[in-house]
Structure 1
């Protein structure tokens, strides 16, 4: 069930059986010469679609995130930390008005983690400072960090998965959009690895946008396996989070 495709009476009926919702969150940033700019939003959105088929309400994807270090590459868009915190806070607060209590943010971008967790802390701090109890439960789940997904990435790519523009995430986008699969030679085959700083430093040290990854290893058939692994990981994590104390 998708929030954007439901009517308000349907959402009201859903709340009678569950107060949990999944919110996909990602980023709009370069993913090397062969990866889609929307990769980090497409991946959690694709997995969340499977969660919707399982009867879980899925909210609209928050597709712009923390990507300042990618601004050296055309097409990348970033939010400031304060903007992303405000966005997450407004989404949670708006939905809590209607009775939602369990918010599972299914994330596709490592750069979002610190800021989104800070947004959760801010929401709870507001309740504490107002001397009131909060029944809100919030969690970020990273699709790329699930046990099954990590095992599959090791099986298929070993250390060639790297840390940005990875074959695992690119394969999943090809599962979602097979007509956008690309097969291009990359030079060097294995780009450098290292820390991420500002946009100018990133472009200097990682000139084609990849970090330690060999995305040419991705195959469309791998994408289906990553979808199945990511969905199993996400359903297990969400149900553990929401099932015990959500109506």
Structure 2
């Protein structure tokens, strides 16, 4: 495996040599630049995608990491200042073009990893179109189990601190812990607070409301769950556990 696996940091000849040597799987994270409550920076999902993609590629073995798609489909967050959103059609067109480009260079498997909740369903629905864009010699796989992501975070928060109920899926104890693990100085700890608490049973209906009426209709401060009690140590364990499970989905 290459010492450097992030394509953006590699040279073109280096990527070509890696592909010729059998490194023909590529991991693509699909994040977002959107509000994450009063305490987290907008690039939470994009940065999380960067980290997850590298961790997953390492577990897969012969894999590289494509540039993260940093802006996703975030229309439901547009009620909050600073959010940048692609339309769903534009977002999926970008993903399709990624597939075509990567397949053209000789990659034989493209693994999409959404790190923003709003990207999960569109990516899953478009998997057939992605495979058509990639052509017959390249397969495209999408990790689309948002319930597993939230469940993984709850398990860690509960086992580490008895605070699983504070995981709601957005700007909560989980995402705050993850940001602390990645960029602790960027968390506004003086503004960490509780948002809209949910139960697993309520989540499907809440997600439908978020997508139809906007995030602000559900949580005025932009938090689903409760951000209090977050730690960098918990965040590292969440990143590790989630990378393990997503890599297992892709066959690691």
TM-score by length of 1: 0.83
Q: Distance in 2 between matches of 1:160 and 1:219?
A: 13
C-alpha deviation, 1:182, in angstroms: 2.7
**1:1-247 aligned within 5 A:** 1-15=5-19, 16-51=21-56, 56-124=63-131, 134-141=136-143, 145-146=148-149, 149-155=153-159, 156=161, 157-184=163-190, 189-191=194-196, 193=198, 194=206, 195-198=209-212, 201-211=214-224, 213-240=225-252
| Structure 1 residue runs without a partner (length 5+) | 128-132, 241-247
Other structure's SS at 2:143 match: strand
Could you say if the C-alpha distance between residues 224 and 105 of structure 1 is closer, same or farther in structure 2, counting changes exceeding 3 Å? same
Other structure's SS at 2:228 match: helix
| Structure 2 residue runs without a partner (length 5+) | 199-205
Check the 8 A contact 1:108/1:143 in 2, yes or no. Answer: no
Other structure's SS at 2:141 match: strand
Q: Distance in 1 between matches of 2:215 and 2:183?
A: 28
Other structure's SS at 2:113 match: strand
Could you say if the C-alpha distance between residues 154 and 29 of structure 1 is closer, same or farther in structure 2, counting changes exceeding 3 Å? same
Other structure's SS at 2:164 match: helix
| Counterpart residue number, 1:243 | none
Count residues with an aligned counterpart. Answer: 232
Computed over aligned residues only, the root mean square deviation of the Cα atoms, in angstroms, reads 2.5
Check the 8 A contact 1:84/1:116 in 2, yes or no. Answer: no
Deviation per CA, 1:156-187: give whole Å up to 9, x if none.
42221013222112211111112113323556
| Counterpart residue number, 1:245 | none
TM-score by length of 2: 0.81
Q: Distance in 2 between matches of 1:217 and 1:206?
A: 19
- Stretches (4+) displaced over 6 A: none
C-alpha deviation, 1:209, in angstroms: 0.7
